[in-house]
Structure 1
Amino acid sequence: MSTQSSIQMRTAATLIGEIGRLAPPQGCAGIWFFGQESVAIKGRRTVIHVDPFYSDFLEQQGVHRTYPAPLRPEDVTIADLCLITHEHEDHLDPWTLKAIASQCPEARFMAPAICRTLLEEEAGIAPERIIDALTGEWMELEGTGAERIRIKPVPAAHEELQTTGSEREHRYVGYLIEMNGVKIYHAGDTTIYPGLSELLAEERIDVGMLPINGRDFYRGSRGLIGNMNYREAAELAAMARMETVIPLHYDIFAGNSEKPGYFLQEVYERTPAQKCHVMARGECFVYVSPRAFGRD
């Protein structure tokens, strides 16, 4: 085994161990960042993965990462729920999901209805473990240790709003997640559309995670579907009154990237009181809400 592989193995073990050990008190949540839009979130005991993308599936197609995935599919042995925002391979990675489904037999998977066939046929997930991400209403689920969690899929426009059936069956979604007294918004891949900032402002979001890589003619000509850019993301965080904002989707593919420093500068100049955090690869960020420890 090469030195680089050994280091990677140790790093993965450390990350998974950390996810298992962390026990945030009420009003707090642990967030781990693994590149692109792959994050793990932990409440009191429940672990949620969003868009876990750890296989070398795209590498085999000649699409190379700028750095190795901090985890491999077989490393993910702790998962209660996986949230998938849409069917693109860097968000719905069937090889990673197949491993999670096998290694975490109690885990459930939520995704837009259009993804169900991929989840069943490519990832081998049993139909009864899949929940359709129908937008516009909160769903209550039971996590580990009877922990109550709430999930609300939110329409995403990547680059436009699309439905695949009923008006609640959006092709692209983000997620509002409420657990352990913390409300988190993971935007998925989206541009800003009329009504989005107002919808989010009503939710009193503690942590908003937003893509910042943007879109342009040249990326569009290569078939890359775009997102909000860093200026739009900074404005959305302010308009939606997010307590803390974290940028996503800027680092894995050289041809579809952005500098997170631009986002930080934009936030600082536009709304200097806005809390903002750029996460390191594999970092655990423990968010402490204003309501934790009786501070509110």
Structure 2
Amino acid sequence: MNEMNRSINKSINRSGEALIEEVQNTEVPYGCLAVWFLGQESVIIKGGGVTVYVDPFVSEFEARTYPAPIRPEHITGADLCLITHEHIDHMDPATLSVMVGSNPAMKMVAPAWCRKPLLEESGVQEDKLQNAETGVWISPLEGLRLQAIPAAHEQLEQDGQGFHRYVGYILELNGVALYHAGDTVIYDGLLENVRQHNVDLAMLPINGRDYFRTSRDIVGNMDYREAAEFAYAAGFETVIPLHYDLFAGNAENPGYFADYLYRHFPEQKFHIMARAERFVYVSPRAFLC
């Protein structure tokens, strides 16, 4: 067994180094974004020379159904890290503490609820950390604008200062508008809020929720039907499903999402990502002079 584990670790190290090298070497034309899928809601987004990590969760974790395609020590060249909320599969100290040390110039945006543990447990420097204030555009890096969007996982929650506990993000980068929803159900006002941003590429959770998972303290999200309906109603040009693959007790078949779109909204573009895949999104504006 030890020999098998050593072999798996060597394989992950080789593939992880190759993935990060691919990220660093990928040049993304204007009107496009490159996206790498790391599992759950962890993604790397690159465009305009800017590399963004969202909810990086790539440490060893017993409940995983498969090992992360990279390890924390592989991550270099990160310009910005976005955190949607404090659950460990979204804000992982074992990943972030290593990531911060290897990427000293990296900036971070996270809900105010996450501020204390990020500073104390992950070693984030105060001047590198900005609160995710919903409804406000910020430009943490040149060429990038982003806005935090309230998320309801499963309820909207705010602290005494009005900061939301759960958020998603709208990113305007390299001529593309991307929406990463974080963990959320659909609540009154979310559709209207997101629709006004003319999102090109959206990433939505599809694992859903039910009585039995709630009784085990597993907080839920929109299910695949809701995500498909939401994508179409919001006018997303392309949608990618997330949050369905990492934990056996909180999983979903992304094929159901694809089938629902095919049957009800066949004109809606979507893409289901393979593990560690590089997907290059090309917007309708990519080839305009």
Where 1:294 maps in the other structure, the secondary structure is coil
TM-score by length of 2: 0.97
Q: Which amino acid aligns with 1:208?
A: A
The answer for the alignment partner of 1:48 in structure 2 is 52
Q: Residue 153 in 1 paired to residue 133 in 2?
A: no
- Residue 39 of structure 2 is matched in structure 1 by 35
> In structure 1, what is the Cα distance between the partners aligned to 2:212 and 2:173?
40
Deviation at 1:80, TM superposition (A): 0.4
Report the Cα distance in structure 2 between the residues aligned to 1:99 and 1:46, rounded to whole angstroms.
20
Unpaired segments of 5 or more residues in structure 1? none
Deviation sequence 1:80-115 (CA, Å, 0-9, x none) = 000000000000001111111110110011100010
Selected match of 1:196 from 187, 190, 196: 190
Query: Partner residue of 1:120?
Result: 119
Q: For each residue in 1:209-262, what CA deviation from the matched residue of structure 2 results, as whole angstroms up to 9, or x when unmatched?
A: 000000000000000000000000000001100000000000000000000000
Matched residue pairs, number?
Answer: 285
Map Cα deviations across residues 117-149 of structure 1 (whole Å, 9 max, x no partner).
Answer: 01011101111110000001111232xxxx410
Matched-pair contact (CA < 8 Å) for 2:107–2:140: no
Where in structure 2 are there 5+ consecutive unaligned residues? none
Alignment partners' CA distance in 1, 2:110 and 2:214: 25
Q: How does 1:158-169 map to 2 (within 5 A)?
A: 158-167=153-162, 169=163
Deviation at 1:201, TM superposition (A): 1.0
Do the aligned residues in 1 keep the contact of 2:152 with 2:187 (CA within 8 Å)?
yes
Q: Partner letter of residue 106 of structure 1?
A: A
- 1:227-242 to 2 correspondences below 5 Å: 227-242=221-236
Deviation per CA, 1:48-78: give whole Å up to 9, x if none.
000000112x42xxxx111001111111112
Structure 2: which amino acid aligns with 1:51?
Answer: D
Identity across aligned pairs (percent)? 53
1:173-224: CA deviations, max 9, x gaps?
Answer: 0000110001100000000001111111111101000000000000000000
Matched residue, 2:140: 141
Q: How far 1:166 sits from its partner (Å)?
A: 2.6
Corresponding residue for residue 69 of structure 2: 70
2-structure distance, mates of 1:94, 1:4? 23
C-alpha RMSD of matched pairs (Å): 1.0
Partner-residue secondary structure (3-state), 1:185: strand
Q: Tell me by how many angstroms 1:3 deviates.
A: 2.5
Describe how 1:1-296 pairs up with structure 2 within 5 A. 2-56=6-60, 58-59=61-62, 64-142=63-141, 147-167=142-162, 169-294=163-288
- Distance in 2, matches of 1:67 and 1:130, equals 31
Q: Report if the CA contact (8 A) 2:207-2:221 is conserved.
A: yes
C-alpha distance in structure 2 between counterparts of 1:76 and 1:165, whole Å: 35
TM-score (norm 1): 0.94
SS of alignment partner, residue 279 of structure 2 = strand
Distance 1:89 1:271 in 2: 34
Which amino acid counterpart does residue 250 of structure 2 have in structure 1?
Answer: N
Hey, what's the Cα distance between the residues in 1 that align with 2:89 and 2:197? 28
Structure 1: distance between partners of 2:103 and 2:29 = 24
In 1, the alpha carbon distance for the partners of 2:172 and 2:185 equals 23
In structure 2, the residue corresponding to 1:293 is in which secondary structure? coil
The one-letter code sitting in structure 2 at the alignment partner of 1:176 is: I
1:221 is matched by which residue type in structure 2? S
Check the 8 A contact 2:148/2:170 in 1, yes or no. yes
CA positional deviation for 1:5 = 1.9
